[in-house]
Amino acid sequence: MKVAVLGAGAFGTALAISLSQTGPVALWAREASHAAEMAARRENARRLPGAPLPEALNISADLARASAAEVLLLAMPMQQMGGFLAAHSTRLDGKILVSCSKGIDLATGQGPIALIEAACPGARAAVLTGPSFAADIARGLPTALTLATRADAPDLQARLSTPTLRLYRTTDTVGAELGGALKNVIAIAAGVVIGAKLGDSARAALMTRGFAEMSRLALKLGARPETLAGLSGFGDLVLTCTSAQSRNFRFGQALGSGAAFDAAITVEGAATARAAMELGLRHGIEMPITAMIAALVGRELSVSDAVSALLSRPLKEE
């Protein structure tokens, strides 16, 4: 199965580098100048500097050529995916479309699988998610991810695994999508706690209560508990809440400490906080941490007011 990665950001580039070990891979960038620069330097200096691009990796800005592959990995920010699918649905329909994005679409309240199925009804939709920093994958460090598809897909699992990228498969697409989306919101909150110097104990409490609210919403929407406890949920929550490599965590740190943050950096949890809060309201699920992050991101609340609001919630059973 030929593979192409659509979206030459940090994650798409890292996956393309890793997958080049096991077969031909194309990497598509939306800007011709970006593709030309990568092809000339054999490096994605804009998005993943310091990671050499293998000679076998075919780089282009020609979507028709790249999307001739059977398996297309969609590696762009979640809020861009709906527009991308709508613009190219004819070309993408009938393919195996693997979303590598983590988030909930703010416009529709849906995850990547539903967006793909709505735009491309003839496609096979999948989600690739789990604890993995692009830089680690690109360096060939060991990484384990979850591949979620509605129908069991050992063939796709085998094609997208490499000696250092170990995929586990599941048919719980709801759990895999929501785990990856919601953990980013909690990672922003963990960053706020550290940025505001509230301490590691407070971060551990927040991660635990954050996991509880992630699980409440996901289970209500049909996820399986074991998926939430797996790589795409708990695993990625731990990674993102504890590492300064995470952009969501760093964004939270900046919010907590009052520092500036570059608005051009992809921070999926910012839009997803609001989308998740709206889903929680619609389904009657209490999500106090998510609501706090949505309000902080929207500058509707100060950090000290947000912390006071969380600490003054009624005492209850765990």
Ligand X SMILES: O=C(CO)COP(=O)(O)O
* Residues engaged in binding ligand X (CB under 6 A): 102, 131-133, 184, 187, 236, 239-240, 246-248, 268
Would you say 178 and 221 are in contact if contact means Cβ atoms under 8 Å apart? yes
Shortest distance (Å) from residue 316 CB to ligand NDP: 33
155 labeled part of a ligand binding site: no
Residue 8 binds which entry of ligand X, ligand NDP, none, CB below 5-8 Å type-dependent: ligand NDP
Nearer to ligand X, 21 or 243 (CB): 243
**Burial of 90: CB neighbours in 10 Å, binned 0-12, 13-18, 19+:** exposed
R_g of the chain computed on alpha carbons: 19
Residue 58, annotated ligand binder?
no
CA distance 178 to 275: 11
By a kind-dependent CB cut-off of 5 to 8 A, residue 31 interacts, out of ligand NDP, ligand X, none, with ligand NDP
* CB 54, min distance to ligand X, A: 23
The smaller minimum CB distance to ligand NDP, of residues 81 and 174, is found at 81
* Catalytic pick among 183, 197, 220, 316: 183
Q: Among ligand X, ligand NDP, none, what binds residue 28 when CB lies within 5 to 8 Å by partner kind?
A: none
Return the number of the residue (7 or 303) whose C-beta is nearest ligand NDP. 7
Per DSSP, the three-state class of 248 is helix
Whether 15 and 73 have beta carbons less than 8 Å apart is answered as yes
Q: Which does 10 bind (CB under 5 to 8 A by kind): ligand NDP, ligand X, none?
A: ligand NDP
Phi/psi-derived region of residue 236, left when phi > 0, alpha when psi is between -120 and 50, beta in every other case:
alpha
Shortest distance, CB of residue 167 to ligand NDP, whole angstroms? 13
Question: Is there a catalytic annotation at residue 95?
Answer: no
Sequence-distant (6+) residues with CB within 8 A of 268 are 77, 78, 101, 102, 103, 181, 184, 248
Contacts 24+ apart (CB under 8 A), 172-175: 172/148, 172/223, 172/224, 172/226, 172/227, 173/111, 173/113, 173/125, 173/127, 173/148, 173/149, 174/111, 174/218, 174/221, 174/222, 174/223, 175/148, 175/218, 175/223, 175/224, 175/227, 175/228, 175/232, 175/233
- Give the rounded distance of the alpha carbon of 51 from its chain centre: 21
Nearer to ligand NDP, 86 or 281 (CB): 86
Tell me which residues touch ligand NDP (CB under 6 A).
7-12, 30-31, 34, 47, 75-78, 80, 83-84, 100-103, 132-134, 266, 268
Minimum Å distance from CB 268 to ligand X? Answer: 6
> From ligand X, ligand NDP, none, which one binds at residue 131 (CB under 5 to 8 Å depending on kind)?
ligand X
Least separation in angstroms between residue 117's CB and ligand X is: 23
Q: Is 243 exposed, middle or buried (0-12, 13-18, 19+ CB in 10 A)?
A: middle
Nearer to ligand X, 19 or 137 (CB): 137
134 labeled part of a ligand binding site: yes
Binding residues for sn-glycerol 3-phosphate: 102, 130, 132, 183, 236, 246-248
Catalytic residue list = 183
Binding residues for NADPH: 11, 30, 102, 134, 247, 268
